[in-house]
Amino acid sequence: MSILAAVDDPENTDVVQRGYELAQAFGEELVVLHVLPETETREEAEEVANNAIRLALDDPENVSVAGALGDPAPRILSEADRRDASYIVLGPHKQTPIGKALMGSVSQLVLLNADCTVAFVAEDEE
């Protein structure tokens, strides 16, 4: 089993940190996933995931990266199934100033279709 943290950019350190906390608490591997359009390469997606880990964690143990190409929601769900994830950790985007409770379409699709628990990490308001 694993914890899957899906990041949309390397600056999304909160998702990686919360995913790592869950992985440590449950003794599971943390997999950090980034999905890019099919016009890019899997290596580029993995590099974004690596950068997110480097920015978020000082000395990570039992952490791996995954890169995928295509539509983010189905790729996140597929990776979670493939890795037998017990949690998917996401950072939903706000769609409008008054829609703070609304999730982005990727987050919504993952939440509605995941076979495991989905945890959302809210952005810090500064």
Q: Report the pLDDT value the prediction gives residue 124, as an integer from 0 to 100.
A: 61
Residue 64 lies in a domain: yes
Residue 70 lies in a domain: yes
What CATH number should be reported for the domain holding residue 100? 3.40.50.620
Structural domain harbouring 46:
2-120
Q: Distance between alpha carbon 35 and the CA centroid of its chain, in Å? A: 9
Residue 125 lies in a domain: no
Distances (CA, A) of 3 to 26, 39, 82, 90: 9, 27, 12, 11
Residue 52 lies in a domain: yes
The structural domain count of the chain equals 1
Edge-to-edge strand ranges of the sheet holding 63-69: 63-69, 29-36, 2-6, 85-90, 117-120
Residue 57 lies in a domain: yes
Mean pLDDT computed over 13-29:
97
Identify the sign of the CA torsion 25, 27, 28, 30: positive
Residue 126 lies in a domain: no
Q: Is the pLDDT of residue 115 over 60?
A: yes
At 46-97, the pLDDT tens digits run 999 999 999 999 999 999 999 999 999 999 999 999 999 999 999 876 555 5
Residue 26 lies in a domain: yes
pLDDT averaged over every residue in the chain: 90
Q: Is the pLDDT of residue 98 over 50?
A: no
pLDDT tier, 100 (very low <50, low <70, confident <90, very high otherwise): very low
Q: Is the pLDDT of residue 31 over 50?
A: yes
Residue 73 lies in a domain: yes
pTM as predicted? 0.89
